[in-house]
Amino acid sequence: MDVDESLFHFFKSHHDLFPAKARILAACSGGPDSVALLYGLKAVQETRDIEILVAHVNHGLRGKESEDDQKFVRQTARNLGWRALFRRISLARGAGGNLEEKARVKRYEALISLAREQKIHTIFTAHNLDDQAETILMNFLRGSGISGLAGMPAIRVWPGSGTKICRPFLNVSKEDIKGYLKEKKVPFRMDRMNEDQKFLRSSFRKKIAPWIEERFPGFKRRLGHFSDIVREEETFWGEKVKEMTRRLLARERGGYVLPWDEFSKFPLPLQRRFLKQVIGPDLLSFDNLEALRKWMASPPADGRIWQLKKGWFVERLSRSQGAPSARLFWLGQDGIERNFSGQKRKVNSR
């Protein structure tokens, strides 16, 4: 599927998101993928009554090159007849941690902020089939679980904002994007940091992906189809977990009360999905999840409180001032331990 075809198909498939006078914020770094996105959106705009603004996030990590990227995006937007918005973010190379991940989070935060200021609820990004394949494989190697194998969704609502992140190029290969730009003779910028193999994704893209492609030609397309299947199945299981939640959980003083006897009747796959959904998929690795589930099934002598990340913990409850029960649990995040008698005790985070 080429660039224009993919965009027209995306708008047709999600026509309810784009009524007349719809406003869209298109993220553009100046690189080939996001420049192709702009030119593809221009083709769509010729057939639809939509307003498009361009957003560029300047990380400032490459000095003059970063400034030249911003100038290039400004001129490209002007050539297309659109207004461009800019946001600078601060990222220190020597600050420690995963610079790629920090940049990703800051970039999305900046885009969400720009969209909110313009009262726009839809942001388009240019993630493509190659990005999707890399994401799925890296998630698999990190042990992310089934949900990680779904990769990036074509539409995602950013948590806490209501803003939709749209990725219409997930079925378009990097090769097709480059061919599109070459055919139209459209210039673009290159970020030399994308070639720096000190960064995990760059190393994966330059070394591992070509190795796999050489031995399993077309693997990216097959991974894309695989992610579609996984996402559909995750939607199915998600509905089952919602039913389970309505049946089992009761709100209690800012947290949730969970009866073990009822919970343990459900199949193991649903138990795991349920706990990840309630506590948060980012807070439970497979090992942590299994350890928690086994602790909940153990006798009360194994302890009253199970501490998790970010203030989350699970407590064995009692319906009186007596010993904790092996059959009733409280799940919460605010750092306060509670039982049904209303007692509170501060829990120390690890």
Separation of alpha carbons 206 and 213, rounded Å: 11
**Structural domain boundaries, residue 22:** 3-220
Alpha-helical segments (H) within 143-249: 174-184, 200-203, 209-215, 219-248
Q: Same domain for 40 and 154?
A: yes
Asked whether residue 155 is domain-assigned, the answer is: yes
Number of domains in the chain: 2
Same domain, 319 and 196: no
Residue 325, pLDDT score? 58
Residue 136 covered by a domain:
yes
Q: Classify residue 37: in a domain, yes or no.
A: yes
Instruction: Quick: pLDDT tens for 163-179.
Output: 999 999 999 999 999 99
- The answer to whether residues 84 and 74 touch, using CB atoms and an 8 Å cutoff, is yes
Report the distance separating Cα 261 and Cα 57, nearest Å. 51
- The amino acid at residue 242 is K
186: in domain: yes
pLDDT beyond 70 at 345 = no
Residues 6 or more apart in contact with residue 247 via CB below 8 angstroms: 262
60: in domain: yes
Confidence of residue 142 (pLDDT cuts 50, 70, 90): confident
The candidate with the shortest Cα–Cα distance to 260, out of 326, 204, 164, is 326
Q: Are residues 189 and 57 in the same domain?
A: yes
pLDDT at 344 over 50: no
Confidence (pLDDT) at 117: 95
Task: Kindly state whether residue 225 falls inside one of the protein's structural domains.
Answer: no
- Asked which of 220, 235, 269 is the last residue of a domain, the reply is 220
| Torsion angle defined by CA atoms of residues 102, 195, 133 and 103, in that order, rounded to the nearest 10 degrees | 10
β-sheet bridge partners, residue 54: 26, 84
**Can you say how many angstroms the Cα of residue 203 is from the centroid of all Cα atoms in its chain?**
21
CATH number at residue 274: 3.30.465.60
Are residue 58 and residue 182 in the same domain, yes or no? yes
Are 164 and 312 found together in one domain?
Answer: no
Residues 33 and 175 both lie in one domain: yes
Would 7 be classed as within a structural domain?
Answer: yes
Q: Is residue 288 part of a domain?
A: yes
Shared domain check, 210 and 61: yes
Residues near 168 by beta carbon (within 8 Å), at least 6 away in sequence: 6, 7, 9, 10, 37, 40, 124, 154
Residues 179 and 318 reside in one and the same domain: no
- pLDDT of 61-110, one tens digit each? 777 888 999 999 999 999 999 999 999 988 765 554 577 778 888 899 99
The answer on 303 and 216 residing in a single domain is no
Q: Specify the amino acid at residue 296.
A: M
| Residue 153 scores a pLDDT above 90 | yes
Asked if residue 144 and residue 104 are part of one domain, the reply reads yes
CATH number at residue 66: 3.40.50.620
According to the model, what pLDDT value does residue 197 have?
66
Do 132 and 48 share a domain, yes or no? yes
> Confidence band (pLDDT; 50, 70, 90) for 1?
confident
> How do residues 320-332 score in pLDDT, each as one tens digit?
555 555 577 888 7
Question: What integer pLDDT is reported at residue 114 of this predicted model?
Answer: 96
Q: Are residues 38 and 112 in the same domain?
A: yes
